[in-house]
A and B are shown apart, each in its own frame.
Chain A
Amino acid sequence: MEDQNKLLKEVTKRDYRFGFVSDIETDTIVKGLNEDVIRIISAKKEEPEFMLEFRLKAYRRWLTMKMPEWAQLKIPVIDYQDIIFYAAPTQQAKYESLNEVDPELLRTFEKLGIPLEEQKMLSGVAVDAVIDSVSVKTTFKETLAERGIIFCSFSDAVKHHPDLIQKYLGMAVPYNDNYFAALNSAVFSDGSFVYIPKGTRCPMELSTYFRINAKNTGQFERTLIIADDDSYVSYLEGCTAPMRDENQLHAAIVEIIALDRAEVKYSTVQNWYPGDKNGKGGIFNFVTKRGICKGESSKILWNQVETGSAITWKYPSCILMGDNSIAEFNSVALTNNFQQADTGTKMIHIGKNTKSTIVSKGISAGHSSNSYRGLVRVAPKAINARNYSQCDSLLLGDTCGAHTFPYIEVGNSSSIIEHEATTSKIGEDQIFYCNQRGISSEDAIGMIVNGYAREVINKLPMEFAVEAQKLLSISLEGSVG
């Protein structure tokens, strides 16, 4: 056992690959948070009055709220006056062609492997890239526009589609939903906006890459996806950040609205900087993601692979309002070293014959702590609702922890809720079996972990699945002994 633990320790100690800092000129405002700062952000973004009102309302509410303490997390005190709430690459204005973009920024995207150049766009992924606070480039906008699809930065949407923003902003996540949602609503900088018109199937995967680059900044993006009747869209989100000693705050909101018979698939590969081997630095990730299956027979799928962040606090949820609507949550959360994750989902059944599925796979290594927290609530009127939940935990070594907190509330007698949970350890015998076939311990663990997570990884779009597999192996390197 001791040998195995030593092995586990070694394999889970690989360095973070995206720890570079780009030397891009940024336009930042002074540190700290007050009403003036919010007015400056709103003014810099040339927002209409209703947005400023929304922000101020959220800010005033936030002041009365307290940091949530119920999670299985140790969160240090966050000094909100020491954070810069707005940082934008300068000369951002609007790029008409790639030649105008800061070459350093383009190099950053190349390092991240983002196909920003138009020729690479043939791969069929439309990308909106958010660096620090500002959306830098949205590719493929014109192609999409021909079909009436809107895919642009949130700021652009506020300017050009204020009616849609006014109608849907805060519908899934109200400004007063929780502490971090209120904070985001007050200071959110940018993000992506998607609108798929009636009867339209989005012909390509839409993708956003988020990256925190500037020092001492928080990143507060806001994403809003609206799928009108009978439409379909698959949306991908990827995240990285440079390595920094101090912790950086990330508090995002994602809202999804699916109307009648619409389907939205939202996939995330989250690889924020997790901190070093001793638990120093890393991103604090407090995210509110929620979708509303508003129309009948609508469908929302959350797929996520989480390997980064020092602290993850995240519960992508669905409100199943429309009759016969369907929601899925498929998640792999890996923690290593001193990472902490408290993640899961909420499935709120309101419509009749609604169905939800939860598959959560936790993987813990090092000294990390990994918790699943899930709520399944069936309203009295939600007759014949169905939920199936499966929560598995995999432990590597004996210094990490895994916890499962399922909450189930059922308000009628025609609904069926199933919950299964398992905890297992990577067996020494499994590793030895692979060794005996010529496979090194490190590769063996990558293989076993990927096998364990396969059910979820298979739900990701192909390109993302490959990336996720690599990420799982890389994140464990040095952890196995």
Chain B
Amino acid sequence: MLVIKDLYAKVEGKDILKGINLTVNAGEVHAIMGPNGSGKSTLANVLAGHTNFEVTHGTATFNGKDIFEMSADVRAKEGLFLSFQYPVEIPGVSMVNFLKTAVNEHRKYRNQKELSAGDFLKLMREKKEMVQIDSQLTNRSVNEGFSGGEKKKNEIFQMAMLEPTLAILDETDSGLDIDALRIVSNGVNMLKNKNNATILVTHYQRLLDYIVPDFVHVLYEGRIVKSAGKELAIELEEKGYDWIKKEVEG
């Protein structure tokens, strides 16, 4: 589904990614872990198409198509979803209006008929129940005045509405209390199936107790320096990242 080869990228003139290789297949859950500043969020943003990041070398294909040939909105419509670490507020734009536009843009892209207002609201109700989001949130402006936890839940709700084939969750667990973490994880698990894939970008092992990864990768100084199964996450939790740093530098 996603194949990244020898990817280099920089932001504001500074090299951040220095040769990433990663393959994600349908049905898989990958966790990308690493110390602060290792390039985890950069990788997520480069894949989603943020224009602040400049790709200097390497390739990435998504379902066989060159991802860097597509603008950010096209990547989204191809089925790539980013759950933001810090979702922005858009004052005056209602969640309903925002999501209706987003869903219908996806449908137009797939040559499907746009949803009527009634059908859309029905879909929204279903998905709200599925991810247990407070229905009042959807009556407000996009993320405006939402608490940290509400913003993250809202991201998962949008993911449920858009049904991506590849979801990248950027530090979705940060700032969540244990109840919110459970709701968010349940949502993600519920949306998982054999045709889609998930990349969890996280600093802590905590999230992985709820969403169990098939693979764990450690990102350090812009490269994946270690990959293994879920047991790697537990090892990192016990020992910290220092032993990895030593291993790499040694």
Contacts and interface: CB of A to CB of B under 8 A. Distances in A.
Interface of A: 3-4, 427-430, 432-441, 443, 447-448, 450-455
A432 B170 CA distance: 15
B117 to A, nearest CB: 15
A366 B209 CA distance: 51
A437 B98 contact: yes
Given A438-B109, A438-B162, A447-B98, A432 B87 contact: no
Nearest to B168: A436
A3 B73 contact: no
Given A427-B88, A448-B90, A437 B162 contact: yes
A308 to B, nearest CB: 23
B50 interface: yes
A452 B158 contact: no
B102 A451 contact: no
A450 B99 CA distance: 15
Given A439-B102, A439-B105, A440-B73, A433 B90 contact: yes
Interface residues of B, number: 31
Interface stretch (B34-42, B75-83, B123-131, B198-206): B75-83
Given A436-B82, A437-B98, A439-B105, A453 B92 contact: yes
Q: For A3, A433, A437, A450, which residue has the most chain B Cβ atoms within 10 angstroms?
A: A437
Contacts, number: 81
B30 interface: no
A430 B73 contact: no
A432 B71 CA distance: 10
Interface string B85-100: 0011011110001110
Contact of A451 (B72, B87, B88, B141): B141
A4 B92 contact: no
27 contacts: A428-B51, A432-B49, A432-B72, A433-B87, A433-B90, A433-B142, A435-B49, A435-B71, A435-B72, A436-B72, A436-B73, A437-B102, A437-B105, A438-B77, A438-B105, A438-B162, A439-B73, A439-B102, A439-B105, A441-B73, A447-B90, A450-B92, A451-B90, A451-B93, A454-B92, A454-B93, A455-B92
Given A432-B72, A438-B73, A454-B92, 16 more contacts: A4-B51, A433-B90, A436-B48, A436-B49, A437-B99, A437-B158, A438-B77, A438-B162, A447-B93, A447-B97, A447-B98, A448-B90, A450-B93, A451-B91, A451-B92, A451-B93
A430 B90 contact: yes
A452 B102 contact: no
Q: For A433, A438, A443, A453, which residue has the most chain B Cβ atoms within 10 angstroms?
A: A438
Given A436-B72, A438-B102, A438-B109, A3 B90 contact: no
A-B pairs with the 10 shortest C-beta distances? Answer: A451-B92, A451-B93, A435-B72, A437-B102, A454-B92, A3-B51, A438-B76, A438-B105, A435-B73, A438-B77
B151 to A, nearest CB: 11
Contacts of A441: 71, 73
A439 B101 contact: yes
A449 to B, nearest CB: 9
Nearest to B144: A451
Contacts of B146: none
B152 interface: no
